[in-house]
């Protein structure tokens, strides 16, 4: 039988790994983000392409 401490360590390690993955993904997406006039231009272009 596993001890509760060992289980919690495994869960904690998995959660830390997931949080690191989410933080990395957010950072990468933030670098791709556009704001202001550039964002408005992209949105306008997308709307116009719909007809």
Model pTM above 0.85: no
Its domain, for residue 27, covers: 4-49
**Model confidence band, residue 3 (pLDDT cutoffs 50, 70, 90):** confident
Between 1-5, 6-10, 13-17, 24-28, the lowest mean confidence (pLDDT) is in 1-5
Provide the percentage of residues in the chain whose pLDDT is more than 70: 96
Question: What CA–CA distance (Å, rounded) separates 44 from 35?
Answer: 13
Residue 1: predicted pLDDT: 56
Per-residue pLDDT at 2 exceeds 80: no
Q: What total of structural domains would you count in the chain?
A: 1
Cβ contact 34:42 at 8 Å: yes
Return the C-alpha torsion angle 40, 46, 47, 48, nearest 10.
110
């Amino acid at each position: 039988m596993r001890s509760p401490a060992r289980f919690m360590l495994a869960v904690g390690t998995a959660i830390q790994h997931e949080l690191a993955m989410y933080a990395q993904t957010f950072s990468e997406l933030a670098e791709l983000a556009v704001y202001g006039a550039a964002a408005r231009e992209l949105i306008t272009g997308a709307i116009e392409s719909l007809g």
